[in-house]
Structure 1
């Protein structure tokens, strides 16, 4: 019985990497089903994603062999069983459109997730969580209890073994320490086409500037507010007749779609970090 894995890797570019990787897989009975690569001329880095089937049932055995193989190349790599749902915790505040969209896509089999918990600083969506049989945790957030609240949030994330945290319109700024602990595994949706209109109330800022396009940006969370590596973006048309309410309503669909695509690509191990940017093998 064959097993299917996804291998992702990056290292300094040099000749022979593709040959070496494919040879490594061939020696272990691997059959490549999908492969993509990218050479970044600016950073000098090489990126690759390979999906392959293999008779080797032990991911641990493959990881041990990969550790030895990757060392001479100085590779950063990851090996994942294809189709294994990614354990996920979703954060939300009082805007539920992105949460609702993610839960529907997950239950419809469109996202390879295992949604383990929903965390919110408000109680608005406990019934929605219950309808999907997902535990709901209300953790109030104030200026005075931020450290204690984040400690509780991290307890939940670790207890659930979450590989991914999605900020689905969670309208609180994470502390620098929490950002570091969630580096590379927390995705935020910002209701603006970054780098324009960072921070609070971007639709008000956009309306004030009379923009003709509004957008949404899904990005990894970093300590620099709304400046993390961008995964996906999209836009919608606007004109002078639109009110702030019009822009907000139209933007909700864009936000939901952008976040869903970013979560899908991340959970399928199609996104590799490249400094302040990303490489995405769609």
Structure 2
């Protein structure tokens, strides 16, 4: 028996949890994990339910029967087969720490995704990608060919049917049009926790200002640069005794961990976009089981 997932967002009303649990029980399903949140500010209810069909009823049949309930409660809902891996494209420029970390986690099963390609505007990591038997796509980007480069990228996305794009330190700005076409489907790692240190060499800027905390922010990409809904963040303490290069080294580790957690949350359907914010439910037992190796 496999664990499947139901995600729901809808206007907040009394009885939603009871309705969902009663329906699943009527379909011969047992709930293995459930998380919910009622946002009183927006009047929106969010829920993620992991369940097992003990009678072996097909997920498509369970989902079809839920349609009436979804319409009655004005729900946005999706059923997810936990055995189906999400198709992901990774994008990278000259800094490869996040790419290496993702490939390692993917290889040992900690990130159960289907990597359908790696795109870069440089050739630095072509050999690394090919050594993992993954497609490598070089798309040169200049100030004069941005439209053509992005059209090539969109062709790859459409051809591979990629469901998620991960900017693993990809240092080119995506167009507003692409961001609008893929809302909630592009994750970026921002190499700074403090907004005051945007742009080039943020860790050197932080070192110059004598900060005591550095960190990273993983967020969905929107048309507003580095302003998309935040999925995950991490900070780490630094001291006056450490150099700017130390900050960079420490920061790279933080970036890799933060991005990996954000990807893990997204592929297990634990993230709900709530306006400019996100609701991120904790990892459930089913997601850990799916990632177990050996």
Q: TM-score range by the shorter chain?
A: over 0.9
Question: C-alpha separation between the residues in 1 aligned to 2:69 and 2:200?
Answer: 47
C-alpha RMSD of matched pairs (Å):
1.4
> Which residues of 2 match residues 1-150 of structure 1 at below 5 A?
2-54=1-53, 55-150=55-150
What count of residue pairs does the alignment treat as equivalent? Answer: 281
The superposition leaves residues 217-276 of structure 1 with CA deviations (integer Å, 9 ceiling, x where unpaired) of 100111111111111111122222333222111111000011111111111111111111
Q: Distance in 2 between matches of 1:218 and 1:196?
A: 16
Retained in 1: the 8 A contact 2:5–2:82? Answer: yes
Deviations 1:86-113 (A, max 9, x none): 1100000000000000000001010111
Q: What displacement does 1:206 show?
A: 1.4
Cα distance in 2 between the residues matched to 1:224 and 1:139: 23
Go from structure 1 to structure 2 and tell me whether the alpha carbon gap of 1:196 and 1:53 turns closer, same or farther (over 3 Å shift).
farther
Contact conserved, 2:194 with 2:214, CA < 8 A, in 1?
no
Q: 1:171 to 1:207 in 2, by over 3 A?
A: same
State the Cα distance separating 1:3 from its structure 2 match: 4.2
Note the C-alpha offset of 1:57. Answer: 4.6
Instruction: Give the Cα–Cα distance (whole angstroms) in 2 for the partners of residues 235 and 149 of structure 1.
Output: 35
Tell me by how many angstroms 1:83 deviates: 3.3
Q: Is the partner of 1:110 in helix, strand or coil?
A: coil
Question: 1:229–1:171: structure 2 CA closer, same or farther, 3 Å change rule?
Answer: same
CA distance in 2, matches of 1:112, 1:79: 18
Structure 1 CA distance for aligned equivalents of residues 96 and 11 of structure 2: 42
Alignment correspondent of 1:230: 230
Instruction: Give TM-score scaled by structure 2 length.
Output: 0.92
Task: State how far apart, in whole Å, the 2-side matches of 1:240 and 1:101 are.
Answer: 28
Unaligned regions of 5+ residues in structure 1, if any?
Answer: none
TM-score (norm 1): 0.96
Inter-partner Cα distance in structure 1 for 2:96 and 2:17: 44
Shift of 1:30: 1.1
The answer on whether the counterparts of 1:34 and 1:50 sit within 8 Å (CA) in structure 2 is yes
Aligned residue in 1 for 2:292: none
Checking the alignment, whether the CA contact within 8 Å between 1:90 and 1:117 is kept in structure 2 is yes
Kept in 2, the 8 Å contact 1:112–1:268? The answer is: no
- Contact residue 218 and residue 262 of structure 1 kept, 8 A: yes
